[in-house]
């Protein structure tokens, strides 16, 4: 398992992640926020589409 991390200093507020994965991301004051961060499979599209690479998936420590 892993979890989704948004690098807020990189996010430019384009809204692409919230468009492709509205169950996981929402836009608040021009930044992407996580609504739900457990389903890393679902967010793969958002990770790829983010133009600045602000979305990463970190492995949970075992």
Question: In this complex, which beta carbon is closest to ligand SF4, that of residue 41 or of residue 62?
Answer: 41
Site for ligand SF4 contains 6 (CB under 6 A): yes
Torsion sign (Cα): 27, 28, 30, 31: negative
Q: Does 24 bind ligand SF4 (CB under 6 A)?
A: no
Selected from 5, 28, 48, 52, the binder of ligand SF4 by CB under 6 A is 52
**What distance in Å separates the CA atoms of residue 11 and residue 37, rounded to the nearest whole number?**
17
C-alpha–C-alpha distance, residues 20 and 25, integer Å: 9
Question: Cβ of residue 1: shortest distance to ligand SF4, in angstroms?
Answer: 21
């Amino acid at each position: 398992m892993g979890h989704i991390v948004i690098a807020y200093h990189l996010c430019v507020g384009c809204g692409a992640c919230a468009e492709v994965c509205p169950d996981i991301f929402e836009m608040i004051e021009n930044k992407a926020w996580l609504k739900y961060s457990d389903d890393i499979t679902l967010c793969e599209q958002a990770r790829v589409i983010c133009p600045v690479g602000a979305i990463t998936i970190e492995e949970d420590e075992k």
